[in-house]
Amino acid sequence: MFGLDKKDTTLLLIVFVLTMCAPFLLNPFPGNSAMAQFNAGYPDLMQRFVIYGIFAIGFNILFGLTGYLSFGHAAFLGVGSYSAVWMFKLLSMNVLPAVILSVIIAGLFALVIGFISLRRSGIYFSILTLAFAQMSFALAYSVLTPITNGETGLQLSLNDPRILGESVSASGGIPFPSLFGLDMRATHVMELGPWMFQFSAGYYFCAVLMLLAFYLAIRIFRSPFGLMLRAVKSNQQRMNYTGLNVRPYTLAAFVISGMYAGLAGGLLAAMDPLAGAERMQWTASGEVVLMTILGGAGTLIGPVLGAGFIKYFENIFSKINDTVLHQWFAFMPDGIEDLLVTVIHPFVGKGWHLTLGLMFMAVVIFLPGGLVQGGQKIGNLFRRKPAADHTTSAAKTPAE
């Protein structure tokens, strides 16, 4: 189905079900319960899950297949955001042209940076990409202020021309991005007792694009082009000795990866029409590296899991403050309650980075293959039990 084998089709269908049913899966607890703190089924966060999933999928095509570690992919994310906002300012508020322009501009930018950076490999390549990203970040803050609006960030205004769209909404404000009239903020709320499920047009638009990006990644992984990239990762020097020029393949992977990042940046701007230089900072590049490694570099679903894992716990841990902790431990004696709050306080709220860092360390130490490896180990445990039972029963059967 879809030109994929049975295994890949199953994987695509799993991702489809998870994304389409996310409003239900991410709201497992009643809204009036103490555990509602762990719900994440609201539009803004769900959109970030799939957008950063696209970002990580694209990065995995470069890092997971070729082994080239880029520390500058946030530059393409930022370029995609700026391109989308400029499209909103000049043409119309339709998100489709903005997203297409983001992909094209990010691809051209990746072509230039990749052509220079791929002259080196290993740590030298990583340093070059990091340097280009930081140069882009600095230029967006200073020299390119007429284009990027510097520290304030590029925003929409009532004075924007918008050749094919309205500059002012019916209420007299700035129009919001839409898809052929469908407002990206449009949300349908379903209430089932104490549960509340939100279905956002913006989320499902991003989810459909993530599914298309995931499908394309599967085709790339299974294609002869993908096999060539794996060969580059395995032993590039041996391939050079055979007389094969691998640079066109690695450059193509770099450009495709940059276009994925541009798509993610365009979607971020489509959901919130604001582009700032902070999206190009080195920390944003480091985040996508963590997502890919945490989920499982070189695997198909790993980057999606890593992006969801980081964005989910980033949101949950940052919301837990002392008030929430006191509510959780209110049933305990005052002395023990205060002690527990004091002990846990450095790991939540403003200290959520520490908790996420410890979790990342644990995964890297005990699961070098990422979350995908953890899932495989759990699956092997269930598969071994029936096999062991069958072996035992066979051993007890007398020979005829």
Per-residue pLDDT reduced to its tens digit, 45-93: 999 999 999 999 999 999 999 999 999 999 999 999 999 999 999 988 9
293 and 350: one domain?
Answer: no
The answer on 254 and 217 residing in a single domain is: yes
The model's pTM? 0.90
Which helix (H) or strand (E) is 16 found in, with range?
Answer: helix 6-20
Considering the domain architecture, whether residues 273 and 325 belong to the same structural domain is answered as no
Give the residue-averaged pLDDT of 231-259: 89
Is residue 1 in some structural domain?
no
Whether residue 371 lies inside any domain: the answer is: yes
Region 270-283 average pLDDT: 88
Residue where a domain stops, chosen among 319, 341, 374: 319
How far apart CA 102 and CA 43 sit, in angstroms, is 22
Please indicate, yes or no, whether residues 305 and 333 belong to a single structural domain of this protein.
no
What distance in Å separates the CA atoms of residue 199 and residue 224, rounded to the nearest whole number? 39
Considering the chain, what is the average pLDDT of its residues?
88
Q: Tell me, yes or no, whether 158 and 47 share the same domain.
A: yes
Residues 364 and 282 in one domain: no
Predicted pLDDT at 168 = 81
Based on the fold, state whether residues 228 and 346 are members of the same structural domain.
no
Report the CATH number at residue 26. Answer: 1.10.3470
* Separation CA 266–CA 288 (nearest Å): 16
- pLDDT, position 385: 59
The answer to whether residues 295 and 335 belong to one domain is no
Domain interval for residue 383: 320-400
Q: Residue 181's pLDDT is what?
A: 84
**Greatest extent of the chain over all pairs of C-alpha atoms, in Å:** 92
Residues 299 and 388 in one domain: no
Total domain count for the chain?
2
Does 357 lie in the same domain as 261? no
- The encoded tokens of residue 217 equal 């990644």
pLDDT at 399: 42
197 and 285 part of one domain? yes
Q: What is the pLDDT of residues 118-152, one digit of tens each?
A: 998 889 999 999 999 999 999 998 888 989 988 88
* Alpha carbon distances (Å) from 203 to 48, 49, 188, 229: 9, 9, 12, 32
User: Is 70 exceeded by the pLDDT of residue 388?
Assistant: no
Of 319, 352, 372, which residue is a domain's last?
319
